[in-house]
Amino acid sequence: MKTTLMLLAIAVCLLGCQPTEQVQSFSGAAQGTTYHVRYWSEQPISQPAFQRAVEQELQRIDSLMSNYRNDSVIEKFNQQHTTDAINVGPEIVQLVTIAKQISEATSGCYDLTIAPLFSLWGFRDQQLTIPSEQQRAQLAPQIGLNLVNIVATEQLAKSHPAVSIDLSSIAQGYSVQRLVDIAKQYGISNYLIEIGGELQTQGSKPDGRHWRIAIDKPLPQQQQLQKIVDVIKPEPLAIMTSGTYRHYYDQAGNRYSHIIDARRLAPVSHSTVSVTVFHDDLSEADAWSTALLCLGSAAGMDVAKQYGLSVLFIDQHQDTFTEYSSTALQHNRAITLTQPQYP
């Protein structure tokens, strides 16, 4: 589950062919959350046509990758208990390829096949159930992205017939990418496009000011600011945040997060509660934010250094939050991070 990056000063929806050099916006519901598009163009844009194209694409992706639709392509793949090759199309194969690389980089902590563990631990039914070692061991043979084989550019096969894939940790980033592609088709090169807090910016505002985003303080059931991000560079930049603090259970003095370590078949137990990744690829950024949250700041910092990733980790110790910036983030000239100022 992704946390929310709060967009600053989201404008109301405006319709029709818009005048040039004004920030326009529209928004809607998508993928169990909301989306927002802010943009401006030197040429008039038919906003109703642009919005229709965006919503049609979101519906198309939902029909491919939603794990909450029995008729989606990925759920049909999950329902077929066979080791034969199954056609899923090039987009899903592309995302599985990226996920495999990031899974390997995290020694298997990040994994798309953990869907049965969400049910086992009660996150699907909104009721914590702590499974026995025997119950976890029974599921172990069908957990592991190495059990999903890329047969061809449009086909996957399972090594274990009961393997299932959950794309939620990477599909939203890909969805933003597809909306970005649509913006390009309309000749838009200055935008902030966001789905459920996952976003990409390009260019600037009409007056030359930077796009500005706020990162939430990782507090459950509250909305305070932890950091303000000014995007300095005009080139596309993906900003993705994952957190443990929106979906968890407390029981007997222990906290059980929905972020599950596939190696342990159990929720993570470290103190990292939020990870923000700044990257030039949306799908990779989405997967990395979850993967590094799975690892936690200690192990995640080593991986971020190895792969040159710009990452902000936030750990919680009782009521205190501590930030850790990767080396690449410390030297990242594309953004500036500042503390919010309160009166």
Q: Is the pLDDT of residue 5 over 80?
A: no
User: What is the mean predicted confidence (pLDDT) over 135-141?
Assistant: 95
What residue numbers does the annotated binding site cover?
Answer: 169, 286, 290
pLDDT tens for 225-277 read 899 999 999 999 999 999 987 767 777 667 778 899 999 999 998 999 999 99
User: Rounded to 10 degrees, what is the CA torsion of 247, 250, 251, 256?
Assistant: 50
The answer to whether 237 touches 45, Cβ cutoff 8 Å, is no
What residue numbers does the annotated binding site for Mg(2+) cover?
Answer: 169, 286, 290
The answer to whether 289 touches 278, Cβ cutoff 8 Å, is no
The answer to whether 201 touches 17, Cβ cutoff 8 Å, is no
The answer to whether 277 touches 311, Cβ cutoff 8 Å, is yes
3-state secondary structure at position 182: helix
Helical (H) or strand (E) element with 170: helix 168-185
pLDDT of 253 reads 67
pLDDT tens for 75-110 read 999 999 999 999 999 999 999 999 999 999 999 999
Pairing relation of β-strands 260-261 and 266-267?
Answer: antiparallel
The answer to whether 224 touches 253, Cβ cutoff 8 Å, is no
pLDDT of 128 reads 81
What does pLDDT average to over the chain? 90
Q: What confidence category does residue 223 fall into, taking pLDDT thresholds of 50, 70 and 90?
A: confident
- Closest among 248, 3, 243 to 121, alpha carbons compared: 248
pLDDT of 27 reads 97
Q: Which amino acid is at 138?
A: Q
Determine if the pTM surpasses 0.85. yes
pLDDT of 342 reads 63
**From residue 284, how far is each of 36, 133, 209, 287, 291 by CA, in Å?**
21, 33, 27, 5, 10
Q: Is the pLDDT of residue 129 over 80?
A: yes
The answer to whether 39 touches 188, Cβ cutoff 8 Å, is yes
Walk me through the domains of the chain, giving residue ranges and CATH numbers. 69-168 (1.10.3980.10)
Q: Is the pLDDT of residue 186 over 50?
A: yes
